[in-house]
Chain A
Amino acid sequence: MAMTDRIREAISSQGRLRTPVSELADDDDLYRHGLTSHATVGLMLELEDQFGVEFPDAYLVKATFESVSSIADALTKLGAAEA
């Protein structure tokens, strides 16, 4: 499964968006679609579980989690496997 599909699964599980993630483009702003501050924590922990990484404090900014693409960029920097 592609990294972006796995990210979408994590968002679907923990993001609590108003819009189904399947209707969003990779660059759509997740915060505009209902991602809250606390849901970001759940999403971060779910991504850590799914990709076997740990987000350092420096990554805990809105820019990291604002879209499927930005999450994929962060995971790639953290060394997450593509599939």
Chain B
Amino acid sequence: MAGEGGSAATGSCASRHGTSSSTLGRLRCGIDLVRVADVAECVARYGERYLRRVYTEREMRDCFGPAAGVVLQRLAARFAAKEAAFKVLEVDREPPAWTDVEVRRLPSGACALELRGRARALADEQGLGELAVSLTHEGDVALAVSVACVAGQEPGESRDWSVRRWQ
């Protein structure tokens, strides 16, 4: 598969929050899969409006590089990464914009997530540190996984976390 690098997250729940099992944070994981053809249709049909609604300037620069053939795959992988991050963030009634989660490509080739606005606030409220991400694409499919560690106890299990979960 044509990955765009693994996660750039460092450390672990244990190293960040202590080594005793009683102080280990709980992991949160989110995943999303996107058909590249669906992204292609949105780009063709809605053009700039679609791109600016979903992707940051940096992401578009990263995607529209010299390797034109993989532009749509890269966009699809970034959309999947944003949705995977939303699942980790357990987005509720005040959702972030898609552009509040930015996929950054590091010099090493790994990818990292930059949170801002409502996405950053949600992460801080829930005691999440860094959200790690890994992207891959092959043919007509792009996929991303995001993982984060929750400091201390999880919020109550009764939390309504269904709204931004499209599926």
Contacts and interface: CB of A to CB of B under 8 A. Distances in A.
B32 A61 contact: no
Nearest to B164: A61
B117 to A, nearest CB: 9
A41 B54 contact: yes
B167 interface: yes
B41 A63 contact: no
A61 B42 contact: no
Interface stretch (A3-11, A31-39, A71-79): A31-39
A62 B163 contact: yes
B166 A62 contact: yes
Main DSSP-derived SS at the A contact region: helix
B84 to A, nearest CB: 10
Give chain B's interface residue range (CB within 8 Å of chain A): 20 to 34
A58 B164 CA distance: 11
A39 B38 contact: yes
A interface residue count range (under 10 / 10 to 19 / 20 to 34 / 35 or more): 10 to 19
A62 B53 contact: no
Contacts, number: 63
Contacts of A35: 166
Interface string A42-83: 100100000000000110111101000000000000000000
User: Which of B34, B46, B97 has the most CB atoms of chain A within a 10 A radius of its CB?
Assistant: B46
B63 to A, nearest CB: 15
Nearest to A57: B97
10 contacts: A37-B34, A37-B79, A37-B166, A38-B42, A40-B166, A41-B53, A42-B50, A45-B46, A45-B53, A62-B162
9 smallest beta-carbon distances between A and B, as pairs: A37-B166, A61-B163, A37-B83, A45-B46, A57-B97, A38-B34, A38-B38, A62-B163, A42-B42
